[in-house]
């Protein structure tokens, strides 16, 4: 667990620094990345690094939370892309050698709460 958590922490630090060599070093050669909301799948380290390196815009990230258990790490990450802000929930699985082998990202979109519960909740 410790190795995978450290790999995920290095993964995010390298992504923010745009250090693509260090980023690639956190990944297994046959890493698989899935985005269920867009039904995209990217296989292989080279393609996944390129996917991130070529992402358009001036994006930055801040890790809000890391939850680790044996064989799996989950992160909540806050991103800014220009003026837009968004959050992502990412699930990481390791390959046993301390590298990331599977990543699944969820990008929830904010929405307005249903009417009728204003007396129960505060808005922030």
**Would 120 be classed as within a structural domain?**
no
In a domain, 12, yes or no: yes
Q: Is residue 90 part of a domain?
A: yes
Does some domain include residue 117? no
Confidence label for 2 from pLDDT (cuts 50, 70 and 90): low
pLDDT band at 123 (very low <50, low <70, confident <90, very high): confident
Tens digits of residue pLDDT in 56-100: 888 999 999 999 998 899 999 999 998 999 999 999 999 988 999
Residue 82, domain member (yes or no):
yes
Structural domains counted in the chain = 1
Main-chain phi, psi angles of 74, to 5 degrees: -120, 135
Q: What is the DSSP letter of 1?
A: -
CB 88 within 8 A of CB 105: yes
Are residues 75 and 66 in contact, defined by beta-carbon separation less than 8 angstroms? yes
On whether residue 41 sits in a domain, the answer given is: yes
Q: CA neighbours within 13 Å on the CB side: how many for 108? A: 9
Measured distance CA(49)–CA(21) in Å, rounded: 9
Residue 105 Cα distances to 38, 77, 93, angstroms: 10, 10, 12
Task: CATH number of the domain at 95, please.
Answer: 3.10.450.50
Mean pLDDT score of the chain: 94
Query: Which three-class secondary structure state does DSSP give residue 97?
Result: coil
Residue 102 pLDDT exceeds 60: yes
End-to-end Cα, the chain, rounded Å: 35
Domain around 12: 2-106
Does residue 115 belong to any structural domain of this protein? no
């Amino acid at each position: 667990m410790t190795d995978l958590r450290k790999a995920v922490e290095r993964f995010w630090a390298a992504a923010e620094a745009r250090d693509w060599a260090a980023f690639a070093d956190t990944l297994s050669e046959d890493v698989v990345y899935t985005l269920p909301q867009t039904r995209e799948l990217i296989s292989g380290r080279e393609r996944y690094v390129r996917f991130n390196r070529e992402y358009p815009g001036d994006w930055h990230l801040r890790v809000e939370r890391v939850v680790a258990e044996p064989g799996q790490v989950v992160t909540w990450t806050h991103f800014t892309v220009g003026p837009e802000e968004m959050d992502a929930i990412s699930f990481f699985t390791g390959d046993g050698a301390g590298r990331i082998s599977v990543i699944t990202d969820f990008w929830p979109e904010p929405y307005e709460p249903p009417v009728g519960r204003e007396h129960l909740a505060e808005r922030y």
